[in-house]
């Protein structure tokens, strides 16, 4: 079986993982720290979807700079609830959840600077 999993570059892996656990119910299935104990790489599962996260400050977006080199679409049964959890966990709303283009969808940026669309098809 082939699959593609995103690999996100962030400044702080622990911050990103903590947000994904709180906002999206992610489960960490693998992680690696350096000798000082700083988390360098993690693999998390979000409702069966695999996401890799690594510390790469030189290439990481910043929540402060507003740049989103890419964003992810997380398809869930209840986008309003997941979106609200993400905001409560520290995400910044870009577009409120609404019905648009045949989807119930909203857009946000997580504390690590990654862009997300949270939604589900209306049909």
Side by side, the strands of the sheet bearing 49-55 are: 7-10, 49-55, 39-46, 27-33
In a domain, 1, yes or no: no
Q: Is the residue at 77 inside a domain? A: yes
* Residue 111 located in a structural domain: yes
Q: Is the pTM of this model over 0.85?
A: no
Residue 26 lies in a domain: yes
* φ, ψ at 6 (rounded to 5°): -70, 150
| CATH number assigned to the domain comprising residue 93 | 3.10.180.10
The total number of structural domains that make up the chain: 1
Q: What is the mean pLDDT of residues 103-111?
A: 95
Q: Note whether residue 2 is domain-resident.
A: no
The pLDDT value recorded for residue 4 is 81
Q: In which domain, by residue range, is 114 found?
A: 7-57+67-121
pLDDT of residue 56: 82
Mean pLDDT over all residues of the chain? 90
> Which residues 6+ apart lie within 8 Å of 81 measured at CB?
none
Q: What is the mean pLDDT of residues 16-26?
A: 97
| DSSP string for 30-95 | EEEE-TT--EEEEEEEETTEEEEEEE-TTT---TTT---S-EEEEE-S-HHHHHHHHHHTT-EEEE
Q: What are the pLDDT digits (tens) for 23-68?
A: 999 999 999 999 999 999 999 999 999 999 999 876 776 656 666 5
Q: Is 40 left (phi over 0), alpha (psi -120 to 50) or beta?
A: alpha
pLDDT above 90 for 90: yes
């Amino acid at each position: 079986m082939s699959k593609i999993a995103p690999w996100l570059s962030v400044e702080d892996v622990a911050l990103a993982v903590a947000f994904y656990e709180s906002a999206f119910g992610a489960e960490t299935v693998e992680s690696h720290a350096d000798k000082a104990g700083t988390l360098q790489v993690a693999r998390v599962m979000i409702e069966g979807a695999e996401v890799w996260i690594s510390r790469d400050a030189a290439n990481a977006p910043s929540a402060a700079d507003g740049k989103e080199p890419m964003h992810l679409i997380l398809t869930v049964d209840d986008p309003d609830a997941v979106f609200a959890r993400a905001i409560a966990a520290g995400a910044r709303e870009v577009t409120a959840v609404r019905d648009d283009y045949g989807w119930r969808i909203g857009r946000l940026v997580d504390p690590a600077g990654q862009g997300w669309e949270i939604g589900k098809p209306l049909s």
